[in-house]
Amino acid sequence: MLSNENDEVVTTTQQNRTKEDAINHNEYEQQQSKKKRKLTKPVIMYRPEQNLFEIYKPGKIIRVFVPSKYLFPSEDDSLLLEKMDRKVYGTDIYTDDSDIILVCQHLGLLKDLTEECKGILVTVKIETSPKKFVATFRNNVRSKSWNSSDSEGYNAITVVKCRILKDQTKLPALSNHQLKQSNFNYDLEQHRFLSNVTIVFDLSGEPTVKYSINSVADKGFDNNEYTSARLIDDGEHILIETDSTRYQLCFNKETNHFEWLQLNSSDSNEKTPLVTDLSWNEIKWGPESIIVRDKEYKVKSTTFRK
């Protein structure tokens, strides 16, 4: 009788330990997940004449993606950039409103730049602003000086690293697909109304804009600008990527239905039809995913194509 009672106590103790281990494991996983989120450096899009860093606190590490269209502008873009009030203040440590391209030029980080590059990825650290920024002439760029009697509440920046993204650069890609610069510029144009975008690399290693529900949400009162209308009337389609697979959402005028296709990651011309008789009501967009006829796909990026 005593032995049975002891066995029950041991079993109960083991069960309690198992529960405690499971709870401790879950807590550990949550802590590790939080640490990873903290270590993740956000990527923001370069915008001329816009202060990119004033909203961050000192100590924060930020990455800025600068597309090649700003490094090697066309004639029209070049005239536009000349009219802009782009400036650089300081030496080695710069004001937070300094143009990041001019900062990199001033530091001599763009000497190996070629027109074949996709752009640059600049890692910036937010610093507490000093009271004085020193002017110097370096690498054919003259920076300006700036004195502030009250630097509290203002940011400064230092460049940690500048990575030139060349065609042959090893990026998180599954193929050697060549960058179509016109496609990327078109993607950016589709997101021109978004206040903040994050740049990611797609399955072909090309820079693209991270998925946001705002990028596919209907805007304004013009029905022609609605996402469904763009697919039906304008002949556009949407490339949708998860972490491992590429899909296409399009409209087939012959069948008068939307189609959901899976694309081969290395050849966009090779398509496998998954659903070919969709109505628009069967497609639901969420903050991080798309539901196609009750099946959910976690979305990494979406881009409109013609």
3-class DSSP string for 62-117: EEEEEEHHHHCCCHHHHHHHHHCCCCCEEECEEECCCCHHHHHHHCCCCCCCCCCC
- Mean pLDDT is highest, among 34-43, 101-110, 191-200, 260-269, for 101-110
Is the pTM higher than 0.85? The answer reads: no
Helix ranges (H only) for the chain are: 2-39, 68-71, 75-83, 100-106, 181-190, 227-232
Quick one: what percent of the chain has pLDDT higher than 90? Answer: 32
Quick one: what percent of the chain has pLDDT higher than 70? Answer: 67
Q: What is the mean pLDDT of residues 237-258?
A: 92
The pLDDT value given to residue 203: 79
The pLDDT value given to residue 70: 85
**Phi, psi (deg, nearest 5) at residue 128:** -75, 135
Q: Which of 44-53, 58-67, 100-109, 214-223 has the lowest mean pLDDT?
A: 214-223
Relative to beta strand 43-45, strand 61-67 is parallel
pLDDT at 302 over 70: yes
Tokens of 4: 């049975």
Residue with tokens 């798309």: 290
pLDDT at 185 over 50: no
What's the whole-number average pLDDT of the chain? 77
Burial 99-109 (b: 16+ CB within 10 A, else e): bbbbbbbbbeb
Q: What is the mean pLDDT of residues 172-197?
A: 42
- Mean pLDDT is highest, among 65-74, 178-187, 240-249, for 240-249
Q: Is 235 left (phi over 0), alpha (psi -120 to 50) or beta?
A: left
**How would residue 174 be classed by pLDDT, with cut points 50, 70 and 90?**
very low
The pLDDT value given to residue 208: 75
CB 147, CB 132: distance < 8 Å? yes
The pLDDT value given to residue 283: 92
CB 276, CB 285: distance < 8 Å? no
CA gap 164, 194 in Å, rounded: 26
The pLDDT value given to residue 39: 47
Q: What is the pLDDT of residues 79-109, one digit of tens each?
A: 666 667 788 999 999 999 999 999 999 999 9
Give the HSE-up count for residue 115: Cα atoms under 13 Å, Cβ half-sphere. Answer: 3
CA gap 298, 286 in Å, rounded: 9
**Three-state DSSP class for 186?**
helix
DSSP one-letter code for 235: -
Q: What is the pLDDT of residues 200-241, one digit of tens each?
A: 777 777 777 788 887 787 655 556 668 888 899 888 899 999
Tokens of 115: 């027109």
132: amino acid identity, one letter? K
**How would residue 112 be classed by pLDDT, with cut points 50, 70 and 90?**
confident
Q: Which of 5-9, 109-113, 129-133 has the lowest mean pLDDT?
A: 5-9
Q: Which of 37-41, 102-106, 159-163 has the lowest mean pLDDT?
A: 37-41
Residue of 208, 267, 218, 199 lying closest to 240 (CA atoms): 208
